Amino acid sequence: METPVQKVRFGTRGSLLARTQTRWVADRLQQLHPQIEVELVVIETTGDKQRDRPFTQVGTKGMFVKEIEEALLQGAIDVGIHSAKDLPSELPDGLSIICIPPREAANDVLIAREACSLEVLPKDSVIGTSSARRRAQLAYIRPDLRFVELRGNLDTRLRKLKEGQCDALILAYAGLHRLGAEWEGLITQILPKEVCLPAPGQGALAVEARADRADLMALFATLHCTDSACTLEAERSFQAALGGGCTVPMGASAYLDGDWVVLDAVVISPDGRQRLFDTHAGLRSRAREVGTTLARRMLEHGAKALIEEHP
């Protein structure tokens, strides 16, 4: 008979947000299984080591997960806790996503030095963001805006905002909400998805483990949210079918409507001048097919040209 799990070692990045998210998962696991001992193991990833370099120079594929996945394969940790949007479309052999906890809202938010909305930001305002997806979508709405590369932890970005290095930041709502009311109170506007469609997986957490750890799969099944997993599957399958390695900014966000899953997606040129938006729906039991179908249709209707034009 298999020995019950007595301790779970959680691999996490060292940022305040990553540790907060990992602690959130660990606390909920202990609420359901008080006998389980938990340990947080901080792992520095490539993305953390090279904070001063733009994402395009570092190479974004797996930059925040690679070292955690290596620790999983080596048996140094039992599970890795990731922001789902950081996970590449394909996982390394031997690893599996064993749990998707309940998801937060996926929207992006504006944090401005003076309380205002995107619509009333002064002309030529400077927006700090490291995301090509956010830059392109905001440029489509407000071509007068200027953008500066802004990486680092949340407190570092907020300090740069206060110092006047930019007029506003664009961040994910989910992270600020998980950090608590003090951080969430900094938000000056929650951006509608019609303005800035989120990245695939934004707002969701993913628990990754070795595929041969059936004991952990059974343990974390009590935390798994099937609704969140369904929307995430549609978004990730879209990303994979579109071509996860392309540098063209893209967003994808799914929601549930009864027995249906509805997926919205956008592919946009880096300068924001060319934008292709589409939506597709299907039975939630076929969420993966919803994503792949929409990606193929968008590739046929112009997304392929955008990707080939901006490799």
Alpha carbons 267 and 257: distance in angstroms, whole number = 24
What is the β-pairing status of strands 275-283 and 260-268?
Answer: antiparallel
Tokens of 223: 């935390």
Alpha carbon of residue 264 to chain centroid = 16
Q: Report the amino acid identity of residue 181.
A: A
Q: Which residues are catalytic?
A: 86
Alpha carbons 272 and 142: distance in angstroms, whole number = 9
- Is the C-alpha dihedral spanning 161, 166, 169, 175 positive or negative? negative
Q: What is the side-by-side strand order in the sheet with 168-172?
A: 146-148, 126-128, 168-172, 108-112, 189-190
Alpha carbons 180 and 93: distance in angstroms, whole number = 36
Q: Determine if residue 272 is left, alpha or beta; phi over 0 gives left, psi from -120 to 50 gives alpha, anything else beta.
A: left
